Amino acid sequence: MLWSPCFVLSPLLLALRFVNAQSASSTPSSAVTTAAIDLLDAGHILHFLDVVDAFGHISVRNPDNASQFIMSFAIAPALATSQSLVTYDINNATALHLTFNTTITGSAIPSSFLERFIHSQIYKAFPNVTSVVHAHTTEVLPFGAAGVGLKAQMGTAGSVGALKNGSPIFDTDALPTSVLPEDQPHDLLIRNEMLGDALAHTFQDGSQLVLMKGHGMAVRGASIRDAVYRSFYAKQSAVVQAQAVLLGGLARGGQQPMGLSVREAMDAAVTNEGESLIDRAWNLWVAQVGTDALYTNDLAPGR
């Protein structure tokens, strides 16, 4: 029988095909890439709008796997790039791999945010939530400190809600020792699943945010753009509410600001959080961060 090179090359070709298939399977899908572009823009926008500073974070549920979420490792949101993004397991907030370099796993992944449990436990508690923001927004902090919930003061902040006592307030000092033992740090940080669960279950129907006493706020969204929109207008509404309280005190007899009614807040949220209006704001914000050299979105075409 004549020797044929195909019998020698076939195993090699099969191996190459296997390697190529493996490489292709590890490349993020178009859905993940699209979400990552928005996620990077979101971190930059939140910083540009003074919702976050060096601290704070935003995440997105993995569009290809609802049991995972994507968020940067511990880096200031303004400085995040595609190589900062990490895919996490929602079940225990474990870092699985870099989203755009799946060969980087385990201890090779740079340090994660300690408070990633805010995100994992909100996703776990609310399967319809697609994005989560945690921010230490200065305009919001006084309300948690005073024990006064936020109430929507304008249509663009309808998702803040109009609950009787305002948006719920999470207070670590009020937690039972079964959740926060005396021998654990009482530093306000959501550093484990139990604290994340307690925060997640502080949300109430009628408001898309929870104030965190001495800490800031957590916001849940139906999309990345929605979460950014809600976070920014919660900040704006907080400014209006604080000013309205002062003006109300100057009025004859004094009066608390009315804010929106429950019906007004609900209907305003539906109208103002429609895709076209959110995209109008989003496109402006993307244009603003896109011309600022501080922010790098290396996934976005032409930027």
Q: Which of 225, 220, 228, 230 is nearest to 199 (CA)?
A: 220
pLDDT confidence tier of residue 15, bands split at 50, 70 and 90: very low
What whole-number percentage of the chain has pLDDT above 70?
89
- Write the class of the CATH domain 30-290: alpha beta
pLDDT of residue 250: 66
Q: Which of 106, 272, 129 is nearest to 209 (CA)?
A: 129
pLDDT of residue 127: 98
Q: Which of 47, 106, 100 is nearest to 75 (CA)?
A: 47
Q: Which of 299, 282, 153, 166 is nearest to 227 (CA)?
A: 282
Q: CA–CA separation, 269 vs 155, rounded Å?
A: 7
**CA quadruple 231, 175, 205, 222: dihedral positive or negative?**
positive
Q: Which residues are catalytic?
A: 115
Q: How many CA atoms lie within 13 A of 47 on its CB side?
A: 23
**Phi, psi dihedral angles at 19 (to 5 degrees):** -60, -45
pLDDT confidence tier of residue 26, bands split at 50, 70 and 90: low
Beta bridge partners of 210: 218
Q: How many CB atoms lie within 10 A of CB 287?
A: 9
pLDDT of residue 252: 60
**Phi, psi dihedral angles at 130 (to 5 degrees):** -110, -25
Q: The tokens of 79 are what? A: 């400085």
pLDDT at position 137 over 50 = yes
Q: Whole-model pTM?
A: 0.90
Kind and range of the H or E element at 143?
A: helix 141-146
